[in-house]
A and B are shown apart, each in its own frame.
Chain A
Amino acid sequence: MSKNSNLALDDLFSRLQSEARNRMEGRETVISIGMATCGIAAGAEETKAAFLKEMEEVGIEAKVVPVGCIGHCYAEPFVVIHKPGFPPIAYPNVTPGKAKVLVRSFLLEGDPVFEFVLGATEANDLLPVLTDYPRFHLEERVVMDLCGRIDPASIHDYIGKGGYTGLYQTLTMTSEDIIREVLESGLRGRGGAGFPTGLKWQYGRDSVSPEKTVICNADEGDPGAYMDRTLLESNPHQVLEGLAICALAIGAEDAVIYVRAEYPLAVSMMTKAIQDAEDLGILGSSLLGTPHPFRVRVFQGSGAFVCGEETALIQSLEGRRGMPQHRPPYPVQSGLWGRPTVINNVKTLASIPPILRHGGKWYRKIGSPISPGTAIFSVVGKVVHPGLVEIATGTTLRTLIFDICGGVPKQRSFKAVQIGGPSGGCLPEAFLDTPVDFDSLTKAGAMMGSGGMVVMDDESCMVNVARYFLEFTQKESCGKCTFCRIGTRHLLDTLDRITRGEGRPQDLDFLELLCADVKDGSLCGLGKTAPNPIITSLKYFRDEYEAHIHEKRCPALMCRPLTAFYIDLERCARGCEACVGSCPVEAIFTTKGRKKAIDQDTCVKCGECVSACPTEYDAVKKVSPPSLAPRIERLKE
């Protein structure tokens, strides 16, 4: 690159940055509302409308900015108000009612309404800072740093916060330098397999071909996982920047972002981001003013889980049925339309700009030495504070679940955590001190996967959990190879039988053998990992399987055919009718002493009577096996 074009570049970039800064500086009040899909589902649209309406009524003006998701699902709708003279203050669970109060008290009268406040986002003398809370200070935000802090639809917001400087720096680097930096960072693919990203790029660069492609894999499909969606919705430009850097490193001129069609907001955010970046001359016929063209398009997947597998994804992009192909050849050798293709996950690509900005060495220092950096988990299930959490690798599961996410609610006890979705495994309490990184989790029998984490308490039946995940993989199998197509069906049928109380003693050996064969014999990652939920639950919760099979008992009282409800006559109140009306099948009748009893033959075990029975009596009991419920005959009339 000649010196002249360097100057032109500097010029273009500093113009972009000063433009962005000018737009952001204002002395008005800014109300940022988290409006990613999760926020909208929690009622952010109504909250926004309430703010606007109330401000109009009282006659004050403030800028209402829809921002992305900060990851605190339990606190949605999440609002940050920055009023001149005050620090930016975060408010959780802002209902339209709270919004009205905030407008009148805070915006109009200057009272921040302390009982609504979560904390301030900057150090100050008035309020505690968010980083004083474990949820905030134990997190380490590299990838999600700007999520929920900028307007994802505004490219100027991103540039103003230092966006695209990573890309800008790489323009003066050779592709070897870029790859060396990424290799030095130790970044491993965040899609689940943990392959070193720098190495993949190196292979991509070394493949000789006039045309190469970069693909961003955003076909996130694990039940309960939504970090890719959040990133695309909350900060699409960071992903685009990573994509552009990857393209420079391997010498690609076009890129595809493969997003599920079920993520309409992510699709529209990304499409807008591409358009805005092209309009500013960052992408398109010229990459930031260089002679290097770079075009990005969004492709919407049609809803098959297996298309997250890279070879199936390529088939789908080429217009074929999404079925995995045998590897090798790997996509870096021959991918989309036979070209060398580098496929990276959204989180991997979003990690790239910070790495280039601060250097590979900086990234390497974060987290554990063998898989450095940060990992994003969507922690859901039985935790007090569910949401997206970005932590340094090497943090223990205990810190993640109990300190950051507040542990198990309702004074229940922790039983297991399912990590890595349907391909992962369930780990019991004994593994809570396992550090979160690729190798430790795999060793324990789970896997990092794409980062779905479901916490379960003592009310979860592990056989049923395994059955749930098998049902998912069985439904999502593409049907190509024998082991996955038919093997998982037999696994599911057996689990089904066990949860119905029709298990046989030989079933456990059958499951173990078939799981091993499906794991070794399947064609792609879907089949190879599908037995993991069974393998780990059999290993760590074998007693539950045995209780189901030998005693026809479900220890967690979850499997319906193995449980029964009965009314404890000692506790039942004479003449009370509370449960009778709640029963949808009229199984409750009056027995001796004007007390109630349940007809076991009619009962459908819905549990409505448990909720209906006044807590001071607490007379409805649930037991397993059903034979423990005393049988009371209806009185003859």
Chain B
Amino acid sequence: MVWLVVDGKKIEAQEGENLLQVCLRNEIYIPNLCYLNTMEKPHASCRLCFVELADKPKPVPSCTIPVKEGMIVRTDTPPVRRLQQTALRLLLSVHRAECRKCPSNRRCDLQKLARLLGVRLRPRRFKHIDRDAGPAHTHPLIEYVTARCVLCGRCIHVCERQHGKSFLTFAMRGFDTVIASLPSAALDPLQCGACHACIDACPVSALLLRDPA
């Protein structure tokens, strides 16, 4: 057991534990989207969970930091907030915020983060860019809404955990990156129909069960 100080609060944790996980467990909220505590290696892609460490000159993503004895952590300094706000604004600038039509309304991570960080759901600083649909999503049971997806990769992770090998993957590159499923032939519709882990893991309802009609 080691002791660390987060925002002036003394916390006990296992040495080497994930800092983000430790903070969340102790009810110190750090914005995050792509992290799940079942991940062996953090994805570190959403760039929201920044914190400041006493011995580092710049903010670092807390999901990548193993806890050490005597660590001094600040979660709400201006540089941290600035990076978090920019990251969220960037995500929102390509997110079609039609909250009333969205199943995630009121329990959406983006809404929660926007409130916490004081960011408008339609940021003024950034022009809205619609993301193209990418290659046709051919999954027989699951629908994918490109304009909602934040590409956190949680769905890929949970699918891999569930089935040993993920039926979902990132496709295309750069700005055009999307989540795609393996061709229907390679899917096992029985498993997909029963599992729904990816749909449950999606923080923004970008993955939905297809309307049978």
Q: Report the bound CA distance from A323 to B172 in whole Å.
A: 12
Q: Point out the residues of chain B lying under 8 angstroms from A490, CB to CB.
A: 90, 93, 126-127, 129
Q: Point out the residues of chain B lying under 8 angstroms from A523, CB to CB.
A: 44-45, 47
User: Would you list which residues of chain B between 3 and 53 have a CB under 8 Å from chain A?
Assistant: 41-48, 50
- Of A325, A475, A486, A513, the residue contacting B90 (CB under 8 A) is A486
Judge whether B174 and A477 touch: CB under 8 Å. Answer: yes
Q: Point out the residues of chain B lying under 8 angstroms from A586, CB to CB.
A: none
Known: A490-B93, A517-B83. A477 touches B46 (CB 8 A): no
Known: A326-B61, A486-B93, A493-B129. A477 touches B83 (CB 8 A): no
For B47, B50, B86, B176, which residue has the most chain A Cβ atoms within 10 angstroms?
A: B47
Judge whether B82 and A517 touch: CB under 8 Å. Answer: yes
User: Does A482 reach chain B (CB closer than 8 Å)?
Assistant: yes
Judge whether B177 and A479 touch: CB under 8 Å. Answer: yes
User: Does A304 reach chain B (CB closer than 8 Å)?
Assistant: yes
Q: Point out the residues of chain B lying under 8 angstroms from A477, CB to CB.
A: 173-175
Q: Point out the residues of chain A lying under 8 angstroms from B61, CB to CB.
A: 326
B68 to chain A, nearest CB (A): 13
User: Does B97 reach chain A (CB closer than 8 Å)?
Assistant: no
Q: Point out the residues of chain A lying under 8 angstroms from B42, CB to CB.
A: 326
Judge whether A321 and B170 touch: CB under 8 Å. Answer: yes
Q: Report the bound CA distance from A521 to B176 in whole Å.
A: 20
Q: Point out the residues of chain A lying under 8 angstroms from B91, CB to CB.
A: 482, 486
Q: Point out the residues of chain B lying under 8 angstroms from A521, CB to CB.
A: 47, 50, 83, 86-87
User: Would you list which residues of chain B between 85 and 127 have a CB under 8 Å from chain A?
Assistant: 86-87, 90-91, 93-94, 125-127
Give the A-B contact count at a CB cut-off of 8 A: 90
Judge whether B176 and A479 touch: CB under 8 Å. Answer: yes
User: Does B59 reach chain A (CB closer than 8 Å)?
Assistant: yes
Q: Point out the residues of chain B lying under 8 angstroms from A625, CB to CB.
A: none
User: Would you list which residues of chain A between 149 and 181 have a CB under 8 Å from chain B?
Assistant: none
Judge whether A480 and B90 touch: CB under 8 Å. Answer: no
Judge whether B173 and A478 touch: CB under 8 Å. Answer: yes
Q: Point out the residues of chain A lying under 8 angstroms from B177, CB to CB.
A: 478-480, 485
User: Does B58 reach chain A (CB closer than 8 Å)?
Assistant: yes
Closest residue on chain A to residue B48 by CB atoms: A482
User: Does A514 reach chain B (CB closer than 8 Å)?
Assistant: yes
Q: Report the bound CA distance from A323 to B79 in whole Å.
A: 27
Closest residue on chain B to residue A480 by CB atoms: B45
Jot down 29 A-B pairs with beta carbons below 8 A, ordered by A.
A474-B174, A476-B174, A477-B174, A479-B172, A479-B174, A479-B177, A480-B45, A480-B177, A482-B45, A482-B87, A482-B91, A483-B47, A483-B87, A485-B151, A485-B174, A485-B177, A486-B91, A489-B129, A489-B175, A490-B90, A490-B127, A490-B129, A510-B125, A517-B87, A520-B59, A520-B79, A521-B83, A523-B44, A523-B45
Chain B residues engaging chain A, CB cutoff 8 angstroms: 41-48, 50, 58-59, 61, 64, 79, 82-83, 86-87, 90-91, 93-94, 125-127, 129, 151, 169-170, 172-177
Extra 14 A-B pairs, beta carbons < 8 Å, given A485-B151, A514-B86, A521-B50: A321-B169, A321-B170, A325-B41, A475-B174, A479-B175, A479-B177, A482-B48, A486-B93, A486-B175, A487-B90, A493-B129, A513-B86, A520-B59, A521-B83
